[in-house]
Structure 1
Amino acid sequence: MLSFPFQDDYRAWDLQKSHLYKPEQAYHPPTVRFGNPTTFQDDYVPRAAQPRQSFKPGAAAPLSTAPFHGDTSHRRDFVPYELEPKPARPKRPYKPSSQPFQGLTTHRCAFRGLLGSAAKACRVPRQAPRAAPIRPASQRRKKFPFQGRSTTQEDFPEWEACRPREPMRPQQQMPGPSGTFDGVSTFQSHYVPHELVPTASCKPAQAAVRSSSPFDDVTWYSTEFAPKKREVCPASYPSPPGYIFETTNSRGHKFFRKIAPASSSG
């Protein structure tokens, strides 16, 4: 029988089962009903609900036996008065000022400037020395003849170019047609034409229904239309009737005032 190192080194101990120190539960629920009432049960006395008395009036409204005259306090107490026509007060014509406009404001007329000394410059008149340049003095370079060759030309010489080979083309695996093309497709060879059956038209006939009664050519517009007199715009007249010229503003617009109709005295 094979044995593993774990089985050789490990030995099971003979452990005894520990006893529980929890006390045994000796409580048994009571079999009788709990007899201690609560404060709510002692103080609360159930009473029968009594319906409240309704103060809502009945659905049937009381009807008056007196006839309705349609009179109101306004109709009985109101006394109409005739208003007198308001007198037309003439508008004062505009009178331009006789004094020429000087173009001066109150600030220009009342303000007087105070004489003061000229402002002095706050700069320091110290003459600072000019800074000497820090760049090194120019040195004359030696002149060498230009050879016209670079590092790339020396390290990468030109290679002899050879003509590329012909491109590799795949060989055609499907054989081409041996016979001549007759110009007939599969649809043309297998298609069987069928005769079309025309659908019955449900459109009504074009003949209109004619009435036997004569046409009176009368409409609501022709019977109820009342033509009104066309009024001419007052601006088309040089002096509009019923208006009085008042003045002309600076833009050349003329202003007219409508004449109040004379009140008829009885």
Structure 2
Amino acid sequence: MTKLCICQICTCGKHRCPHRPYGIIGKGDQPCAVTEYRSEFIPREGGVRESYKPDYKIQASTVPLDDETTHKHDFIRYALDKQRSYKPEEVYTPHGEFDSLTSYNKEYTPKDGERARPIRHDAQRKISAPFEGDPTYRTDYRKWETGRTEPIRHDAGYVPPSDPFRGESTYTTDYLKHQGAMRQPIRPDQSVLQSKDPFDDRTGYRTDYISHPQQERFQRAKEQYIPNQVALDSLTTHRRDFTPKDADRTRSMKPDLQGFRSNAPFDDATTNKTDYKPWEVQPIQTHRPDQYRANPGEMDLNTIYNSEFTPKPLSKVTAMRPVERHGTDAKFDGNTTYLGDYRKWPGERPPAIRSQAGYEPPSMPFEGLSTYKGHYIPHDAGPQRSFKPDSTAYRSTVPFDDATMYRTEYTPKEIQPCPATFLDTPRSGFVLHHVEPTGHKFYQPQHELLQTQYQQQQQYPIAV
């Protein structure tokens, strides 16, 4: 069933749907201009909203500038004394001799030992007598007489088994699942490493170290703090200049949270509820494969290889060995075709070609006439004619033949009016099908409507 809008029916480009006022011919897939927001939310009359931005005014003062700064007022100049020199603390050096005997010097004493001798092997002894004996290779690996390996051929064809196929593989029948116990950890027993003897914590440091009394460290006496007797002037620039002012509370710039309210009931009729209707869903039918059926009759297992390639009597292939060459005691003949045919002929260098006599200048005086002047004689010629066409156009007395191909071939046709012009009239070929809630109209061709009615009459005839 075909449902068309006025934009799709129009062929002249002048009729457009109010829902698509900017549509173009042939581009009916553009979005509809009428939306729920434009139809439901009607603009209300209202004035210009007042700005909450405060007025910008410059706060000017006529009081003269006071150049007395905080630095000039608070920081008073005091007399400075000479800085005392700082002497570092004296390093305390204990008296007596230092006992440098450690456990290393006590336990590891120098020992007397001989120098290690280099290990040298005796030289290999050579035996002058020849070796007599058979190696393991000759005694164990003997040469056996072997014949040609015969090809493996099946004498009879394939015989299918008579037992029915059970569907069990060799892996399933041979490899059975056994219940095994839990694997024991490979971690060694920690009880072996434990000892019942008390821990011996007597080290060389504890036994050999002797604690000596240490004198007290020299401490310098701290200077006692003497507070200032002058009272502190706590008047700052901030307290003096920024005095409290009487001012009202700043008004809030936040707008009121009172939106537009309506007492009309909410229309919950959405496009999803009106257009998308629930349809009955049938369960998915699974495809069952066809049951296997064996072909009747016996299978001919006789192949072309078994029928054509039969065993043939063959003889052993003789080895292809090259013919051995025997040495010749005759004298070498060095005469070749080149030495016999191409003989050396006596030849000398050709003499240079030189003139018999020297240059002799002519005895006649030079006339000064060249070949160009003697052969090419100048001739008198007029100015060259211009090949530029005349400015006068070609004129003919024959009447103009205006019989063009367009006038002879293209005959005037009758212009069909736009079908959108006759909508909602008796001459229209389209019938109104339905109107959407948004006001969008859809039309159906009249011949499809008549065809649908005719099919319904044929399917459900009226009883007379």
Task: Say yes or no: TM over 0.5.
Answer: no
Normalised to the residue count of structure 2, the TM-score between the two structures is 0.17
Normalised to the residue count of structure 1, the TM-score between the two structures is 0.25
Q: Highest relative contact order (Cα 8 Å, sep 6+), 1 or 2?
A: 2
